[in-house]
C-alpha cells in the first residue's frame, strides 16, 4: 500500500486484522512452522497476545528474549541473525 509515496505493507494490514479479530480467526488454520521472537522489554506488543498466538497456531514456537525491546534487528542484529540461522538450519 502506498500513501504519499510511503509503503506501509504488512504491519498496517496485521494491525487491522488484529483489531478486527480476523487474525485470531485465521490462527488455527496456519499450519506451517512459525517462530515468534518477543523481547521482554517490548512495550508495544503485550506478551500475553503472543503467548495466545503461539498456543493457537499449530507448529508455532515463541522465544522470549531477555534485555530486548521491540526492535531486535537494531538492538542485537548479530543475535537475531544467529537465531534465524539456528531456526532455519534446524528446521530443514
Whether the Cβ atoms of residue 44 and residue 17 lie closer than 8 Å to each other: no
Whether the Cβ atoms of residue 46 and residue 29 lie closer than 8 Å to each other: no
Based on the domain organization, do 39 and 18 belong to the same domain? Answer: no
Number of folded domains that form the chain: 2
Q: How confident is the model at residue 2 (pLDDT cuts 50, 70, 90)?
A: very low
Whether the Cβ atoms of residue 53 and residue 25 lie closer than 8 Å to each other: no
Q: Of 15-24, 30-39, 79-88, which gets the smallest average pLDDT? A: 15-24
Based on the domain organization, do 18 and 55 belong to the same domain? Answer: no
List, for residues 56-77, the tens digit of each pLDDT value: 999 999 999 999 999 999 999 9
Based on the domain organization, do 41 and 72 belong to the same domain? Answer: yes
List, for residues 12-22, the tens digit of each pLDDT value: 777 788 889 88
What residues make up the domain containing 5? 1-30
Based on the domain organization, do 42 and 1 belong to the same domain? Answer: no
Sorted by sequence, the CB contacts under 8 Å of residue 83 that are 6+ apart come out as 35, 37, 63
Amino acid at each position: 500500500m502506498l500513501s504519499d509515496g510511503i509503503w506501509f505493507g504488512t504491519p498496517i494490514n496485521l494491525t487491522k486484522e488484529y483489531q478486527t479479530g480476523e487474525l485470531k480467526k485465521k490462527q488455527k488454520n496456519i499450519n506451517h512452522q512459525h517462530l515468534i521472537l518477543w523481547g521482554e522489554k517490548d512495550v508495544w506488543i503485550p506478551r500475553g497476545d503472543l503467548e495466545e498466538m503461539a498456543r493457537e497456531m499449530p507448529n508455532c514456537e515463541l522465544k522470549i528474549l531477555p534485555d530486548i525491546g521491540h526492535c531486535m534487528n537494531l538492538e542485537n542484529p548479530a543475535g537475531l541473525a544467529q537465531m534465524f540461522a539456528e531456526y532455519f538450519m534446524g528446521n530443514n
